[in-house]
Structure 1
Amino acid sequence: MHPVVLITGAAGGIGQAICERLIQRGMRLVLVDIQAERLQQVAERLGEQATPFAADLTDHDALARLMSFVEERFGRLDILINNAGIARVEAFDERSVESILGELNINLVAPLVLTRLAIPLLKRSADARVISTVSLGGIFPLPETPIYAASKFGLRGAMLSIGLDLASKGIKVGSILPAATETAMLRHEAIHGGNALQFIDPPQQPEDVAEQVLLMLDKPCLERTPKASESWLSNLAMLFPNLLPRTILLFRKRGEKGLQRYLESLGERGLAQRVNGRWELK
């Protein structure tokens, strides 16, 4: 019997990479994203095993309709992948309340609500899984993105707690903690002054994150990190939070150089250009 998988953020770079790997394993996918047209294109490319369902994850009524759709179409859910996420590049002291709540709702509230709503269908599976794309931003705070950090710190903690709770109830829960990944969101962050610390090393590829999802399916655990070395460094830094100001200063120069190299690579690949001395996405 082919596993039934629901994945949010399916039209994004990481989402598409995950979907492609799951389709190769013969799984049936329910693709969820707010970008309806792009989602339809992804579904058509993946083939008849992929079913699109356009939805705003902050609309809880839409999430309830999504669960009803999955129940009517498949009768159960084997794997829920909470992959959708956003990062706003706005100074905290200049952000609107609506902007703050919007980012928290997508990155933190939506995956928790969706996970809760999915549990009845997951309990019908013989091997139920919940996998969430968190971030190293859920371990290490980044000055330019405090709301992103808040949402990912919260999601990481929640999924660790939920994993401990649901393990005895037949549902395995795990999280993937990727570092900076080559996606449209990262390119937007780089152009608009996102955190330079993300570019200490070259960004990884969406396929690297997808590989960790497969490993999570094959060898379930509470957390996996595509770049284990970065995870160790982040955890070590957080053992001594009062040293964070100095720690960040040590890495910032290296990160700023990496950011410039990344911007230049965008130009070389025809993805960005300099206009009046500033980089802009094409």
Structure 2
Amino acid sequence: MTITSKSGRIALITGGAGGIGREICRGFIERGIICVLADYNQEALDRATAELGPSAVGVAVDLSDFSKLPALLAFVQARYGRLDILVNNAAITGTGHFEERSVEHILGELNINLLSPIVLTRLAFAALQRSGDGRVINTVSLGGIFPLPETGVYSATKFGLRGAMLCLGMDRERHGVHVGSVLPSATETPMLMREAVEGGNTLQFMDPPQQPADVARQVMRMLDNPCLERYPRWSESWSVRLAMLAPNFLPRLIPLFRKKGVRGHARYMESLRKRGLVVSNEGKWELS
């Protein structure tokens, strides 16, 4: 038996149990859209679906295992009979120097951030075309425009995903599916907190992190007025584009940015401490 939503639309959101994914689902549900949350963490899925209510269902899946993706889409089809919106939101990032990271971890980051969204979009495309108003919305990152030191693999995945989805989006007249991306800067999620504690790139803390709701608002705008790209902080899109006009000058600019980032990181860690989200243990930060 198929289940229908108030709006008639069904959305599949990868990384749906995370901070950004959950806010996207909240916005969809307010619009009467049923949400299927795909995430690897069953406990997080249980918490998210309990919080979001009966219009949210969770599916535990390893998105890096491409053989599991057809079954994920088959579940959506069997339960709801359609798919109208695919949100490629799941992402991971590693910390530490490139030359010290294992090949296995590099491949895992490439699979989750770049290959899985492309493969899942390809597999979902027929259903999205049948929808009549199919949408693919991707959470990319300003890291898909502006490279930061020590984030080579992450930047590679986001540069690649942005490029692939821009190409697909420009071909809409042929295939009929709206494809667009939201490009946030640093957003306060468990992943960002972990990066902050583990010594991730301080450059992303030059400004206070935005909130998942800021990103979700741009996803909702994508539904109302689809386009190729949207930015939670529009001014940042212009500043990074301007910097990329002369990439050879980046080695001179980055040290200036880094000083601001170090100060911003210290302020952010203090804000986490005041909120009880981190503690200092023998001079080292730890998540509470």
Q: Confirm or deny a common fold (TM above 0.5).
A: yes
User: Are 1:20 and 2:19 an aligned pair?
Assistant: no
Shift of 1:167: 3.8
Task: Tell me the residue number matched to 2:154.
Answer: 148
How far, CA to CA, are the matches of 1:210 and 1:129 in structure 2? Answer: 15
Task: Tell me the residue number matched to 2:145.
Answer: 139
Q: Do the aligned residues in 1 keep the contact of 2:18 with 2:44 (CA within 8 Å)?
A: no
Out of 217, 229, 236, which is 1:230 matched to? 236
Match runs of 1:197-236 below 5 Å: 197-236=203-242
Give the gaps of 5 or more residues in structure 2: 1-6
Q: Do the aligned residues in 1 keep the contact of 2:82 with 2:127 (CA within 8 Å)?
A: yes
SS at match of 1:5: strand
Task: Tell me the residue number matched to 1:63.
Answer: 69
Task: Tell me the residue number matched to 2:16.
Answer: 10
Letter in 2 for 1:195: N
Out of 177, 194, 198, which is 1:188 matched to? 194
How far, CA to CA, are the matches of 2:121 and 2:93 in structure 1? Answer: 21
How far, CA to CA, are the matches of 1:236 and 1:48 in structure 2? Answer: 45
Out of 110, 126, 130, which is 2:132 matched to? 126
User: Are 1:157 and 2:166 an aligned pair?
Assistant: no
Q: TM-score, normalised by structure 2?
A: 0.96
How far, CA to CA, are the matches of 2:279 and 2:46 in structure 1? Answer: 30
How far, CA to CA, are the matches of 2:82 and 2:171 in structure 1? Answer: 21
Task: Tell me the residue number matched to 2:276.
Answer: 270
Which deviates the most, 64-73 or 108-117? 64-73
Shift of 1:249: 1.4
SS at match of 2:171: helix
What is the percent sequence identity of the aligned residues? 60
Distance 1:260-1:167 versus aligned 2 partners, 3 A rule: farther
How far, CA to CA, are the matches of 1:195 and 1:8 in structure 2? Answer: 25
User: Are 1:281 and 2:287 an aligned pair?
Assistant: yes
How far, CA to CA, are the matches of 1:108 and 1:254 in structure 2? Answer: 30
Task: Tell me the residue number matched to 1:98.
Answer: 104
Which deviates the most, 213-222 or 32-41? 32-41
Q: TM-score, normalised by structure 1?
A: 0.98
> Could you report, residue by residue, the CA deviation over 1:118-152 in whole angstroms, capped at 9, with x for unpaired residues?
00111111211000000001011111211000000
Shift of 1:279: 1.3
Q: Do the aligned residues in 1 keep the contact of 2:16 with 2:89 (CA within 8 Å)?
A: yes
How many equivalent residue pairs? Answer: 282
SS at match of 1:124: helix
How far, CA to CA, are the matches of 2:146 and 2:255 in structure 1? Answer: 14
Shift of 1:274: 1.2
> Could you report, residue by residue, the CA deviation over 1:160-206 in whole angstroms, capped at 9, with x for unpaired residues?
01111234321000000000001110011111111111111100000
How far, CA to CA, are the matches of 2:65 and 2:106 in structure 1? Answer: 17
User: Are 1:256 and 2:262 an aligned pair?
Assistant: yes
SS at match of 2:51: helix
Shift of 1:2: 2.0
Task: Tell me the residue number matched to 1:83.
Answer: 89
Stretches (4+) displaced over 4 A: none
Letter in 1 for 2:74: S
User: Are 1:47 and 2:53 an aligned pair?
Assistant: yes
Shift of 1:278: 1.6
Q: Do the aligned residues in 1 keep the contact of 2:17 with 2:48 (CA within 8 Å)?
A: yes
Q: Do the aligned residues in 2 keep the contact of 1:167 with 1:173 (CA within 8 Å)?
A: no
Shift of 1:155: 0.5
> Could you report, residue by residue, the CA deviation over 1:6-55 in whole angstroms, capped at 9, with x for unpaired residues?
00001100011111111111101111000012212211222222121110
